[in-house]
Structure 1
Amino acid sequence: MALQLELRHYETIVAIVDLGTMTEAAKVLHSTQSTLSHRLAEAERRLGVRLFDRGHHRRLTPTRAGIATHQAAARALDELGRNEQILLADRSDVTSVVRIGVGSYDCFHWYPSFLEAAHEQHPEVELQLVVVDDAPGDVLTSGSVDLVVAPGTPAGPLDRRPAFDDELVLITSPDHHLVGRDHIEPIDLIDETYLTYNFVPTPGFEYDRFIRTGDDYPRVVNVVPQTSAITELVAAGAGVSILSRWALSPAIASGRIVATRCGPDGLTLPWSLLTRSTESNDSPTQRIADHLADHLPA
């Protein structure tokens, strides 16, 4: 039986369900809302069923038929992507490619030793590093990455596996006046130039759990998108920040920057391994995730 829908229809349905809105789906598919709206209407016309209910503010909620179509399409798209990875592999002994990224932080000090160990145990899998931003769920859904090492508890259509516990700490230059303290309080940041990688504070991180609990805030806040750049600025005495101890462990161990606890009890930070919720249990991505879980932290 010939298919009634084309690949573009299925990609649209999966993106709308996974991301929740036509706006976000259009961003991921590099299209427009109008194009996706016409495409969805065409899919429903060809199938003769309603795939989404249009609610308040035209919010799209998948119907029973929409959910069934999404599940089948998500599995098929994942398999098609995997097949392309196999065909595009450079080495004849490589049958799979797994793309790994780190959420929020550009830290890869753990990667060389993991790459060597993973190649020994999984020579059939090629690993690739991918730069991701502060929304790992989106990049997983779009298919641009397969496995993300991420701090906090990201939301979205993904599977989350706890990896290890870390701590958010104040980082300063070695000669900063706060060095030597047992811990700092929010009031200690009032006169500091505070550096952050986010334009909008991420729920569950330092702003939510520490800075906002005080009555005063840093008077100067500069946004520097890359944590590696923040590290260099802090080392040069150009500001302070609150970041992951593990992510910045090489710079801390070398003495270029100093870490100080935030609050008497500290700010714990869980790290997780994130994969797509459609990933099968025996896939190459899950095998690499199992191996990485045993390797971290490093």
Structure 2
Amino acid sequence: MPLQLDLRHYETVVAITELGTMTAAAELLHSSQSALSHRLAEAERRLGTPLFERGPRRRLLPTRAGLMIHQTASRALADLERSEQLLLNEKRTITATVRIAVGSYDCYHWFPGFLHDVRAHHPTIDLQLVVIDDQPSAHLASGSADLVIAPGTPEGIFETQPLFLDELVLCVAPRHRLAGRQSIEASDLADESFLTYNPRPAPGFEFDRFIGPAGSYPRTVTVVEQTNAIAELVAADAGVSILSRWALAPSIDAGRITEVRCGAAGLPLEWNALLRPNEPADSPARRIAEELAHHLDDFHLDAD
């Protein structure tokens, strides 16, 4: 059913109800008393009921119908005013959207600060955080992601831009028997329940570089696909894992998880920004990748 009243009718009812006189309402709405009287009469005619009645000192008092219209209209007008102000005060004109994802790890502690930087330095680019699986190349090709932050070098066809150097570390509960060690060897994991997010060993990670070459494997290996879930299990002393120090930084810094170096030299891990092949030099995705490298430089970890 179409509305019987338009915006000016609602403004009139609100103004008269709140100010009490036709004179004050007309002044507020920059209208004449005659025009406002005609508008009110038209509203009452369309609704088939009086909205005001005369009170003491010639004040206009809302009827039950008038109060109902006032309550609804005052809320709606306030919402409309806020929407207009947001649009009028919005200084950013969005010309591009960049969809950014994290490969392998479900870690997003970096995103709020980075979003702030993007809005400050690239106000015309809208940044969207998306969740992908372990196949970044396919998501870049389909357009479901424009930029992927990934540890190591995943399989696929893409352009790689280095971001920062991280380290794979053993993650254990603070009271775990290995928590006080400076470093561990693969043989130290022989009696441990090991948690991993990857159902098959990936080149460049712990099984390829640390556990496999030593020929000494954990007692059990359990696949838990979400790294956040692994972190919670480790914190509960339900297993150990070897994961990115940067990805688990919030839990490590909060003391919920303890990190231990893998081998005397550690296991350096480079994080990269993955882009589509032949990404234009000044594309929004490339500009965001450069901003990301600058932002994440604060997290740079040098291997000893």
Q: TM-score range by the shorter chain?
A: 0.5 to 0.7
- 1:167 maps to 167
SS in 2 for 1:120: helix
Taking the TM superposition and a 5 Å limit, the aligned residue runs for 1:125-140 are 125-140=125-140
Quote the residue 2:123 is aligned against. Answer: 123
In structure 2, the residue corresponding to 1:229 is in which secondary structure?
helix
In the alignment, the residues of structure 1 paired with residue 92 and residue 289 of structure 2 have an alpha-carbon distance, to the nearest angstrom, of 23
Do the aligned residues in 1 keep the contact of 2:279 with 2:286 (CA within 8 Å)? yes
Q: Is the 8 A contact 2:92 2:124 kept in 1?
A: no
> Does the alignment pair 1:294 with 2:294?
yes
Deviations 1:83-120 (A, max 9, x none): xxxxxxxx982111100001100111111011011011
2-structure distance, mates of 1:286, 1:260: 35
**1:190: which partner in 2?**
190
How many Å apart are 1:132 and its aligned residue? 1.9
State how far apart, in whole Å, the 2-side matches of 1:257 and 1:233 are: 10
Structure 1 residues 230-269: aligned runs within 5 Å: 230-269=230-269
Give the drift of 1:133. 2.2
Residue in 2 that maps onto 1:213: 213
Paired letter, 2:179 = V
* Correspondence 1:264-283 to 2 at 5 A: 264-283=264-283
* AA aligned opposite 2:216: D
TM-score by length of 1: 0.68
- 3-state DSSP class of the match of 1:230? helix
Give 1:137's aligned amino acid. Answer: S
CA distance in 2, matches of 1:176, 1:136: 35
Q: Which residue type is aligned with residue 176 of structure 1?
A: H
Change (3 A) 1:92 1:249: closer
Greater C-alpha Rg: 2
- Which one is further off, 133-142 or 103-112? 133-142
Unaligned runs of 5+ in 1: 1-90
For 1:203, give the aligned amino acid.
Answer: P
* Counterpart contact for 2:186–2:210, Cα < 8 Å: yes
Equivalent-residue separation in structure 1 for 2:149 and 2:140 (angstroms): 12
Amino acid at match of 1:164: F
> What amino acid is aligned across from residue 103 of structure 1 in structure 2?
G
Alignment of 1:81-100 (within 5 A): 93-100=93-100
Letter of the aligned partner of 1:140 in structure 2? L
Counterpart secondary structure, 2:243: strand
Name 1:87's counterpart in structure 2: none
Unaligned runs of 5+ in 2: 1-90, 300-304
Aligned length: 209
Tell me, in whole angstroms, the C-alpha distance in 2 between the residues paired with 1:155 and 1:135: 8
1:151-206 superposed Cα distances (whole Å, 9 cap, x missing partner) = 00123221101111100000000000001111111111111110000111111100
User: Partners of 1:136 and 1:231 in 2: how far apart?
Assistant: 23
